């Protein structure tokens, strides 16, 4: 008989952009929906699951005997809020399986942390509360979260410890899950963790949240210093999360969360002090982006290859991957040596399939226009067709399988711009996505990526930071927050409201 602690494991992985079409069951089934023992099998080999789950199993396996009690792992690509039937199915599955698994010694939640629902604005809190109601107040509840999470007071109240990613691009998923595993082991050893947080009225655009350098790197560095120089022995974790403003929910905002070994006051004071320091630094988070016209001019005169990031249309943040601003401008300016990817348009792929490899067709991109995404037609030659199945070799998808769906590499005429068009909404974060279509990235003069920041971990071997230009075109992830029709974001909030005060003055 297996011995060791009985640990329930579950995950709901969705980053909700309130302005994207709702996320449905098929979006989860396509990426990951696993229940029960199938989770354990997948977690111990190359898989499509959130890497936290793999990392959690690896740490627990290494620590000694334990009994994994996997409930349900559901992950969809960033998209709109989850529709109500899908959310209820997940919640019912998770709670039924948790009841059946009782008694449990601890629960690990490997969520993204920025999910919301069409029928329930704070699905994260609803899940945590449901789990807490079943296991009772004594069983440790520990979560890992994405750095772009929105943390409500209810979530903090339900949890014993929280371990958000500390890197952006996110390359520490497994490490943070391992940290969560260590916290669970500490709890099982008798510690009673305390978690406190401070949320600021501050929603920095995602492009300002990189952790290699810049203000957010400094904020993470201050958290690291607090941990390293802690003489009390109290601090288990100090984290800073950027929030995901496009969720458009009351709990949006940059957050400091602190987990201690038992002293809630120490957690509270530490969180307050760090939040104050970040708040005083907020003016460094103002965005510098190029306009489309500036980008074309830079490409025309540059003597070195440049990467232009179409940050406003990032499928990794719920963008459609289908705005034509940069494609149109570079094509019509006849900038030579341009590669653009990934343009998401299943219908355009089918037009290319109909034309066949070597064939020429009048391709219509975005036949059905939507918010920010116009229709655009161009003559194109089909260079290659594929099923879009590949394996990452670098960055956030390293050694992981990905699927772009049916794909076509086409060449727009007469500019010669090569465009990778795909069917499934994925961001271009991985060089293999282009290389498997025969593109020599090192030979491209201009690379246009529909991604906000995760491409940096994949394309750093081709483009150093000084050859990367963030462009603000159109899209559902625009860094120009004033263009977004927010409805539920708490106001005032910085930088949308320049004179936001914190703490809010009394009276």
Determine the interface stretch with Zn ion among 63-71, 148-156, 377-385, 440-448 (rule: CB under 5 A): 148-156
What are the structure tokens assigned to 92, written together? 């019912």
Residue pair 411/381 in contact by the 8 Å Cβ criterion: yes
Q: How far is CA 11 from the centre of its chain?
A: 15
Residue in the shown chain whose Cβ atom is closest to Zn ion: 148
Residue pair 161/192 in contact by the 8 Å Cβ criterion: no
Residue pair 420/341 in contact by the 8 Å Cβ criterion: yes
Nearer to Zn ion, 160 or 470 (CB): 470
Q: How far apart are CA 424 and CA 30, in angstroms?
A: 10
Q: Where are the beta strands (DSSP E) in 146-304?
A: 161-164, 194-199, 235-241, 255-260
Determine the interface stretch with Zn ion among 47-55, 145-153, 463-471, 484-492 (rule: CB under 5 A): 145-153
Nearer to Zn ion, 147 or 342 (CB): 147
Determine the interface stretch with Zn ion among 31-39, 49-57, 139-147, 416-424 (rule: CB under 5 A): 139-147
Nearer to Zn ion, 59 or 454 (CB): 454
Residue pair 168/457 in contact by the 8 Å Cβ criterion: no
Determine the interface stretch with Zn ion among 147-155, 263-271, 276-284, 324-332 (rule: CB under 5 A): 147-155
* DSSP assignments along 102-123, one per residue: -S-SEEEEE--SB--BSS-S-H
**Judged by CB under 5 A, does residue 122 bind Zn ion?**
no
How many residues in the shown chain lie near Zn ion by CB under 5 A? 2
- Ranges within 186-205 binding Zn ion (CB under 5 A): none
**Judged by CB under 5 A, does residue 148 bind Zn ion?**
yes
Q: Where are the beta strands (DSSP E) in 14-110?
A: 32-35, 67-75, 106-110
**Judged by CB under 5 A, does residue 52 bind Zn ion?**
no
Q: First-to-last CA distance in the chain?
A: 63
Pairing outcome for strands 235-241 and 255-260: antiparallel
Is residue 310 helix, strand or coil? strand
Nearer to Zn ion, 317 or 475 (CB): 317
Q: How far apart are CA 224 and CA 231, in angstroms?
A: 14
Nearer to Zn ion, 113 or 320 (CB): 113
Determine the interface stretch with Zn ion among 144-152, 192-200, 224-232, 262-270 (rule: CB under 5 A): 144-152
Q: How far apart are CA 159 and CA 136, in angstroms?
A: 12
Determine the interface stretch with Zn ion among 138-146, 246-254, 346-354, 361-369 (rule: CB under 5 A): 138-146
Q: How far apart are CA 287 and CA 295, in angstroms?
A: 16
Q: What is the closest distance, in whole angstroms, from the C-beta atom of residue 452 to Zn ion in the complex?
A: 9
Nearer to Zn ion, 106 or 255 (CB): 255
Alpha helices for 309-362 (secondary structure H): 325-332, 346-355
Q: What is the closest distance, in whole angstroms, from the C-beta atom of residue 237 to Zn ion in the complex?
A: 18
Determine the interface stretch with Zn ion among 143-151, 329-337, 342-350, 371-379 (rule: CB under 5 A): 143-151
Nearer to Zn ion, 83 or 146 (CB): 146
Nearer to Zn ion, 120 or 168 (CB): 168
Nearest alpha-carbon partner for 111 in 97, 131, 96:
131
Q: What is the closest distance, in whole angstroms, from the C-beta atom of residue 146 to Zn ion in the complex?
A: 4
Q: What is the closest distance, in whole angstroms, from the C-beta atom of residue 273 to Zn ion in the complex?
A: 26
Q: What is the closest distance, in whole angstroms, from the C-beta atom of residue 153 to Zn ion in the complex?
A: 21
Determine the interface stretch with Zn ion among 17-25, 146-154, 452-460, 497-505 (rule: CB under 5 A): 146-154
Phi, psi of 470 (to 5 degrees): -80, 125
**Judged by CB under 5 A, does residue 146 bind Zn ion?**
yes
Q: Which residues contact 349 (CB under 8 A, 6 or more apart)?
A: 405, 406, 407, 408, 421, 422, 423
Q: What is the closest distance, in whole angstroms, from the C-beta atom of residue 170 to Zn ion in the complex?
A: 6
Pairing outcome for strands 446-449 and 338-344: parallel
What are the structure tokens assigned to 458, written together? 């994949």
Q: What is the closest distance, in whole angstroms, from the C-beta atom of residue 148 to Zn ion in the complex?
A: 4
Q: What is the closest distance, in whole angstroms, from the C-beta atom of residue 168 to Zn ion in the complex?
A: 7
Is residue 230 helix, strand or coil? coil
Nearest alpha-carbon partner for 88 in 5, 2, 12:
12
Nearer to Zn ion, 148 or 176 (CB): 148
* DSSP assignments along 422-470, one per residue: ESS------HHHHHTTT--GGG-SEEEE--SSTTHHHHTTT--GGGEEE
Q: How far apart are CA 414 and CA 34, in angstroms?
A: 47
Nearer to Zn ion, 210 or 295 (CB): 210
**Judged by CB under 5 A, does residue 13 bind Zn ion?**
no
Nearer to Zn ion, 146 or 430 (CB): 146
Residue entry with tokens 């050859």 = 467
Determine the interface stretch with Zn ion among 72-80, 141-149, 252-260, 467-475 (rule: CB under 5 A): 141-149
Nearer to Zn ion, 148 or 199 (CB): 148
Nearer to Zn ion, 167 or 386 (CB): 167
Q: Where does this chain bind Zn ion (CB under 5 A)?
A: 146, 148
């Amino acid at each position: 008989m297996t011995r060791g602690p009985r640990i329930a494991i579950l995950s709901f992985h969705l980053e909700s952009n309130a302005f994207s079409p709702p996320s449905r069951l098929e979006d989860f089934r396509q990426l990951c929906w696993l229940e029960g023992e199938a989770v354990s099998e997948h977690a111990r080999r190359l898989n499509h699951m959130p890497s936290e789950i793999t990392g959690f199993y690896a740490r627990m396996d290494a620590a000694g005997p334990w009994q994994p009690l996997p409930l349900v792992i559901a992950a969809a690509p960033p998209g709109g809020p989850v529709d109500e039937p899908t959310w209820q199915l997940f919640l019912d599955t998770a709670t039924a399986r948790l009841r059946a698994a009782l008694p449990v010694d601890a629960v690990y939640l490997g969520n993204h942390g920025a999910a919301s629902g069409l029928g329930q604005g704070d699905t994260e809190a609803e899940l945590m509360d449901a789990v807490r109601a079943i296991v009772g107040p004594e069983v440790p509840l520990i979560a890992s979260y994405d750095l772009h999470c929105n943390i409500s007071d209810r979530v903090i109240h339900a949890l014993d410890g929280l371990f958000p990613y500390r890197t952006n691009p996110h390359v520490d998923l497994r490490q943070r899950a391992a940290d969560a595993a260590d916290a669970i082991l500490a709890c099982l050893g008798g510690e009673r963790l305390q978690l406190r947080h401070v949320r600021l009225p501050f929603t920095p655009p995602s492009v300002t949240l990189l952790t290699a350098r810049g203000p957010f790197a400094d904020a993470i560095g201050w958290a690291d210093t607090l941990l390293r120089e802690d003489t009390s022995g109290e601090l288990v974790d100090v984290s800073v999360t950027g929030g995901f403003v496009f969720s458009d929910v009351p709990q949006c905002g940059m957050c400091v969360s602190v987990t201690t070994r038992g002293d809630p006051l120490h957690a509270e004071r530490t969180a307050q002090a760090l939040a104050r320091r970040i708040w005083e630094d907020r003016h460094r988070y103002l965005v510098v982006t190029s306009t489309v016209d500036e980008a074309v001019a830079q490409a025309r005169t540059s003597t070195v290859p440049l990467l232009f990031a179409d940050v406003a249309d990032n499928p990794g943040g719920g963008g459609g991957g289908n705005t034509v601003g940069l494609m149109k401008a570079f094509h019509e300016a006849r900038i030579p040596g341009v590669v653009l990817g990934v343009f998401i348009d299943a219908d355009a792929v089918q037009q290319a399939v109909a034309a066949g490899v070597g064939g020429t067709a009048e391709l219509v991109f975005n036949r059905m226009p939507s918010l920010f995404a116009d229709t655009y037609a161009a003559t194109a030659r089909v260079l290659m067709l594929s099923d879009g199945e590949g394996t990452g070799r670098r960055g956030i998808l390293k050694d992981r399988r990905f699927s772009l769906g049916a794909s076509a590499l086409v060449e727009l005429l007469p500019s010669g711009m090569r465009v990778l068009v795909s069917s499934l909404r994925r961001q271009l974060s991985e060089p293999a996505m282009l290389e498997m279509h025969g593109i020599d990235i090192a030979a491209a003069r201009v690379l246009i990526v529909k991604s906000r920041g995760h491409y940096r971990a994949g394309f750093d071997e081709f483009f150093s930071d000084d050859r990367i230009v963030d462009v603000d075109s159109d899209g559902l992830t625009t860094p120009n927050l004033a263009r977004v029709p927010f409805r539920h974001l708490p106001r005032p909030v910085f930088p949308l409201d320049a004179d936001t005060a914190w703490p809010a003055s009394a009276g």
